[in-house]
Structure 1
Amino acid sequence: MKSLSQQYRIGAIAKFAGVPVTTLRVWEARHQAFRPIKTAGQHRLYGEEDLLRATLLKQLSDQGYAISTIASLDIAALNDLMHKQSGQSSGLAKLASNRNVSLAIVGLALAGQVESKAFSAHLQNIHLVTTGVYQSLEMVRQTPPNTAPDIFLLKINTLHEIVVHEILQAARAMRASKIVVLYNYGREQVVRSMRDYRMMVRREPLSDYELAELINSVLVVDASQELSETTTSVTIPARKYSDYVLKKISGISTNVLCECPRHVAEIIAQLASFEQYSQECLNKSAEDAHLHAYLSSVSGSARALFEQALEKVASHEGIDLNAQE
């Protein structure tokens, strides 16, 4: 039996998937692509799985698949076809833009939004590759994607301490680089703890533009150019060294006359602070979202580069960074 929590009229499905209503009705009547429920007033209502199916069917049909051959496939099979198609074209995409970003998604409606034509319009310079779509965190732990995703994107209705633990477990199972969580309800204390774990957390609802800016904010960009320009990008590595470790490094006496370990450690701490500040600004309000996403990605990129510099300086000076934990 389908859940009544998330249901849509056919017009909403058409808008999300970028498929005319008449085409969806043909897919349903002729190929049994969807199985809507009927209300007492005989109105058809479609669920989250129907939304994702419509989006995947549209993308696959655009790539040359006959709807008659794919309409009966389940979500997992449709995703497999998408992954194969993405794998065949990833080489060309990488040469063209060098901006491939992989996603694992929890939430069928969220996956439908991300894979829709309307959302893609806000990510013109980024090629998104979905490595897995899951209905729950438990499914992620049971069958993690074969390839570690750059971004683990989740829709969670209610946040609490147990869910945070489950998110971290799932992220470790799939070896995700970054975690982005969208939620409806949650105590501020829980949200703060999630940000301490370097998760990007935003309260729903989010427009396509706002969600696109969240994804932009966890990408390394060339600081000399705007996000809208053609730049190379990969996910920003998570922070390596805590403020406590950086403070200990700053106090170590070395043979370097310019006190490089101390200066580099202080720069990292300042960049990490500003990175967190920019993310919080982005989390709190949609106003100036593009600017805060840009500032967050630039400061995160710089912080990651200086962490590499710190490791080189430490190696030169014989400092064991692991011993400072």
Structure 2
Amino acid sequence: MSTPTHHIFRIGAVSKATGIPVSTLRIWETRYGAFSPVKTEGKQRMFEELDVSKAILLKQLSSEGHAISAIAGLDVNQLRSLSNLQNSTHLKPRAQDEPVTLAVVGLSLANRIESKKFASGLMHNRIKVTGVLVDMEAASHASFGEVPHVLLVKVNSLQTSVHSCIQTLIQKHQFAQTIVIYNFAPEAVVQAMKFSGLIVRREPISDLDLAELLQSVAFVDKKRAQEFGTSGAVIAGRKYSDDTLMRVASISTNVLCECPRHVAELIAQLASFEEYSQECLNKNSEDAHLHAYLRSISGSARSLFENALEKIAQHEGIDLLEGKK
């Protein structure tokens, strides 16, 4: 798991990050008690990352008509709940207009997504942050009243332990899609995460690219849920390695139409195309909707054919565990 990093900001940096004048931040602090920054010996105000989150939410809510005197004393979770409640009253009643719900691991990333600058890159799509976790440790103990569509994780270093923790979260909560943003990682870990169905992007990634990635993935997952008659559960990672599929394809059986060979070859081809679409989505924000759609369809088809292969293997007495990925 990642170790939480506590960033400290001067008031000028908070002003630049949030678009709130320094004079306003000082009034919110001194008159309304919105913040309790640590002051250095030189009387410099030092704010934590959580203060930046709060400032962003206070700005949004005050611009929507809430009196700063009434909301300054609320904590970040209370402010976020109030913001989500207010946003929900502005939504149209049709299902396709519902916002995409998002759980974010990492305060700095949550601050980016909740900013007005980030929202400008979402065009007509709405992203609703329903949960913010400080780090993977907090995420592992989190509970959600309603499971968000997307889990978005930001870590500095990707290691096998982080991958394992994320997989546990997915199995527990069944997010429709998981996106991981990282700074440094061994290539083997990155490839393993992509193999298991995660979207993995390396920093730096611009707000516009991240917004495009979120809306394209979320759009596809809701469409896929309708097309396949499901509740939007995540596409399962690959069950069988290329070696296993080659072994099955070469086995002689009593099935006259050679179903094991055909199905194994189809799975291998779909998995290859799924990986190709994943790479397009990871490397290029252009046509992101199309790449996400192709990845979703190929992944769903691959998963269905894997289920079919298991039925064939059971009928033919083929051991799929040998060489299983």
Query: Aligned partners of 2:150 and 2:261: how far apart in 1?
Result: 32
Q: Which residue of 1 aligns with 2:317?
A: none
Q: Give matches, 1:260-275, under 5 Å.
A: 269-275=268-274
Q: Secondary structure at the match of 1:219?
A: helix
Q: 1:147 to 1:265 in 2, by over 3 A?
A: farther
CA-CA distance at 1:119 after TM superposition: 0.4
Q: 1:112 to 1:77 in 2, by over 3 A?
A: same
Residue 246 of structure 1 contacts residue 269 of structure 1 at CA under 8 Å; is this kept in 2? yes
Residue 31 of structure 1 contacts residue 72 of structure 1 at CA under 8 Å; is this kept in 2? yes
Query: Aligned partners of 2:88 and 2:20: how far apart in 1?
Result: 25
Residue 152 of structure 1 contacts residue 180 of structure 1 at CA under 8 Å; is this kept in 2? yes
The count of residues paired between Structure 1 and Structure 2 equals 300
Q: 1:186 to 1:274 in 2, by over 3 A?
A: same
Q: Which residue of 1 aligns with 2:23?
A: 22
Q: Which residue of 2 aligns with 1:298?
A: 293
Q: Secondary structure at the match of 2:34?
A: coil
Q: 1:254 to 1:135 in 2, by over 3 A?
A: same
Query: Aligned partners of 2:97 and 2:245: how far apart in 1?
Result: 33
CA-CA distance at 1:135 after TM superposition: 1.0
Q: Which residue of 2 aligns with 1:134?
A: 133
CA-CA distance at 1:269 after TM superposition: 4.8
CA-CA distance at 1:28 after TM superposition: 1.6
Q: Secondary structure at the match of 1:131?
A: strand
Q: Which residue of 2 aligns with 1:231?
A: none
Query: Aligned partners of 2:313 and 2:143: how far apart in 1?
Result: 30
Query: Aligned partners of 1:321 and 1:16: how far apart in 2?
Result: 57
Q: Deviations over 1:202-255 (max 9, x none)?
A: 222322112223314423459xxxxxxxxxxx9784246646598769999989
Q: Which residue of 2 aligns with 1:230?
A: none
Q: Secondary structure at the match of 2:103?
A: strand
Task: Give the partner amino acid of 2:295.
Answer: G
Q: Secondary structure at the match of 2:31?
A: helix
Query: Aligned partners of 2:202 and 2:170: how far apart in 1?
Result: 20
What is the TM-score of this pair, normalised by structure 2? 0.75
Q: Which blocks of at least 5 consecutive residues in structure 2 are unaligned?
A: 222-230, 315-319
What is the TM-score of this pair, normalised by structure 1? 0.75
Task: Give the partner amino acid of 1:296.
Answer: H
Q: Deviations over 1:57-97 (max 9, x none)?
A: 2222233322112111112222222333344444x1746x5
Q: 1:101 to 1:268 in 2, by over 3 A?
A: farther
Q: 1:269 to 1:41 in 2, by over 3 A?
A: farther
Q: Deviations over 1:180-199 (max 9, x none)?
A: 11222222222222222222
Residue 6 of structure 1 contacts residue 48 of structure 1 at CA under 8 Å; is this kept in 2? yes
Q: 1:176 to 1:25 in 2, by over 3 A?
A: same
Task: Note if 1:54 corresponds to 2:52.
Answer: no
Q: 1:143 to 1:305 in 2, by over 3 A?
A: closer
Q: Secondary structure at the match of 1:122?
A: helix
Task: Note if 1:63 corresponds to 2:64.
Answer: yes
Q: Secondary structure at the match of 2:122?
A: coil
Q: Which residue of 1 aligns with 2:166?
A: 167
Query: Aligned partners of 1:41 and 1:4: how far apart in 2?
Result: 24
Residue 237 of structure 1 contacts residue 304 of structure 1 at CA under 8 Å; is this kept in 2? no
Residue 18 of structure 1 contacts residue 118 of structure 1 at CA under 8 Å; is this kept in 2? no
Q: Which one of 295, 304, 311 corresponds to residue 320 of structure 1?
A: 311
Residue 178 of structure 1 contacts residue 235 of structure 1 at CA under 8 Å; is this kept in 2? no
CA-CA distance at 1:52 after TM superposition: 0.8
Q: CA RMSD in A?
A: 3.7
Task: Give the partner amino acid of 1:185.
Answer: F
Q: Which residue of 1 aligns with 2:285?
A: 289
Q: Secondary structure at the match of 2:218?
A: coil
Q: Which residue of 1 aligns with 2:85?
A: 84
Between structure 1 and structure 2, the one with the greater Rg is 2
Q: Which residue of 2 aligns with 1:227?
A: none
Q: Which residue of 2 aligns with 1:154?
A: 153
Residue 158 of structure 1 contacts residue 183 of structure 1 at CA under 8 Å; is this kept in 2? yes
CA-CA distance at 1:289 after TM superposition: 2.3
Residue 106 of structure 1 contacts residue 135 of structure 1 at CA under 8 Å; is this kept in 2? yes
Residue 268 of structure 1 contacts residue 303 of structure 1 at CA under 8 Å; is this kept in 2? no
Structure 1 stretch displaced more, 193-202 or 239-248: 239-248
